[in-house]
Amino acid sequence: ETGVTQSPTHLIKTRGQQVTLRCSSQSGHNTVSWYQQALGQGPQFIFQYYREEENGRGNFPPRFSGLQFPNYSSELNVNALELDDSALYLCASSPPGLHTDTQYFGPGTRLTVL
Q: Where along the sequence are the contacts to another protein (CB under 8 A)?
A: 4, 31, 33, 35, 40-45, 48, 55-56, 58, 90, 92, 94, 99-108, 110
CB atoms within 10 A of CB 92: 22
Q: Specify whether the CB–CB gap between 3 and 106 falls below 8 A.
A: yes
DSSP per-residue codes, 55-83: EEE-S--TTEEEEE-TTS-EEEEE-S--G
Q: Select 16 or 28, whichever has its Cβ closest to another protein.
A: 28
According to DSSP, the residues that pair with 37 across neighbouring strands are: 88
Q: Select 44 or 86, whichever has its Cβ closest to another protein.
A: 44
CB of 87 to another protein, least distance (A): 13
CB of 14 to another protein, least distance (A): 23
Distance CA 51, CA 62 (A): 21
Q: Select 17 or 74, whichever has its Cβ closest to another protein.
A: 74
Q: Select 31 or 81, whichever has its Cβ closest to another protein.
A: 31
